[in-house]
Homo-oligomer: A and B are copies of this chain.
Amino acid sequence: MLTRRTMMAATPAIAGLATAAGTTRADAQMNPPSTAAGQAPGFYRYKVGDIEVTAIHDGFAARPLDGFIRNADIAAVKAAMAEAFLPDAALPITFTTLVLKTGGRTILIDTGNGDSGPPTTGRWMSNFRAAGFDPASVDTVVISHFHADHINGLRLKDGTAVFPRAEITVPDAEWAYWTDDAKMASAPDGLKPGFQIVRRVFGPVMKDVKTYAAGQEVVPGLTAVAAYGHTPGHMAYMLASGSAKLMVMSDVTNHPALFVRNPTWSAVFDMDADMARATRLKMLDMAAAERAHVSFYHAPFPATGHILKGSDGYRFVPVQWMSAI
């Protein structure tokens, strides 16, 4: 006999269902929090005017260098790695999302890998909780683009919605492209899994997803900036509060040691390499000229700093970590 009680027991994937005091399935299925013998929690808080920004780290993926950059030979790539004292064989690509606290609301920009990434990822939820946040309190999730490492954190592999109360808003051109079944059918095989991930993540909530356009103020203080090329609808943002600003660069570059230093290089992740390069050059030039405070999804944690233009090109200068916020 099917009662409410047996139904509940049979549907452990209900969003936010507590499995232990204060934790949810999203906690249970992700990597455990840092222990006393482990690394410090991967969050970093800073202010942009009145807006409190918290960078939340989701670990890393080791990317072999062979075949990673379309238009640079491996010797040049290894020289760039050596200049940054990075390992010779594989690039540790990190994932760092942003939480914005403004006007009493909690807003995420991107979500990390959830429980779908390699085992060196999946640290997002414990870091998010260590920073004092609760997934049930998230009001809005703003997505920059639909690559797996940005959207998989919205939904666990078992179907659980990780942010049960949150409104989800996505770039209009990104939505139009990836939800188009004709585009999926005609896509090369290597791209098809990307279309499937979009269906896995958004399928259960297709009618509820909101879209936003370039130039639009997505949430108060956060304006979308067209940064197409990496994906068809890829967005950067300008976050502003009073006279303070943060250029949220999303994936305008992958790791700065390679792509800020060599902005004409194209990672295989850039779907339209020429358009992505033009976007990158334009936005790095703007950031350097304005001495803008910037953040990058794939810069080393805490993934925020400035762009210096010197006699030998661009350079990412990380912020000095501060105990005071």
Contact = CB atoms under 8 A, between A and B. Distances in A.
Given A86-B320, A320-B92, A322-B60, A40 B45 contact: yes
A306 B85 contact: yes
Contacts of A79: none
Given A37-B132, A85-B291, A323 B123 contact: yes
A31 to B, nearest CB: 9
A41 B41 contact: yes
Total copies of this chain within the assembly: 2
Interface range on chain A (Cβ under 8 Å from partner): 35 or more
Interface stretch (A153-161, A174-182, A311-319): A311-319
B92 A308 contact: no
Given A94-B320, A319-B85, A320-B300, A325 B45 contact: no
A57 interface: yes
B41 A40 contact: yes
B320 A36 contact: no
B57 A323 contact: yes
A43 interface: yes
Contacts of A132: 35-37
Contacts of A44: 39-40
A84 interface: yes
Interface string A214-241: 0000000000000000000000000000
Contacts of A83: 308
A22 interface: no
* Residue of A86, A120, A300, A324 with most partner-chain B CB within 10 A: A324
A131 to B, nearest CB: 7
30 contacts: A38-B45, A39-B45, A39-B322, A39-B323, A39-B325, A40-B40, A40-B44, A40-B45, A41-B41, A42-B321, A42-B323, A57-B321, A59-B324, A60-B322, A60-B323, A83-B308, A84-B320, A85-B305, A85-B317, A85-B319, A86-B320, A92-B320, A92-B322, A94-B320, A120-B323, A120-B324, A123-B323, A300-B321, A310-B312, A312-B312
Interface of A: 35-45, 57, 59-60, 83-86, 92, 94, 120, 123, 130-132, 291, 300-302, 305-306, 308, 310-312, 317-325
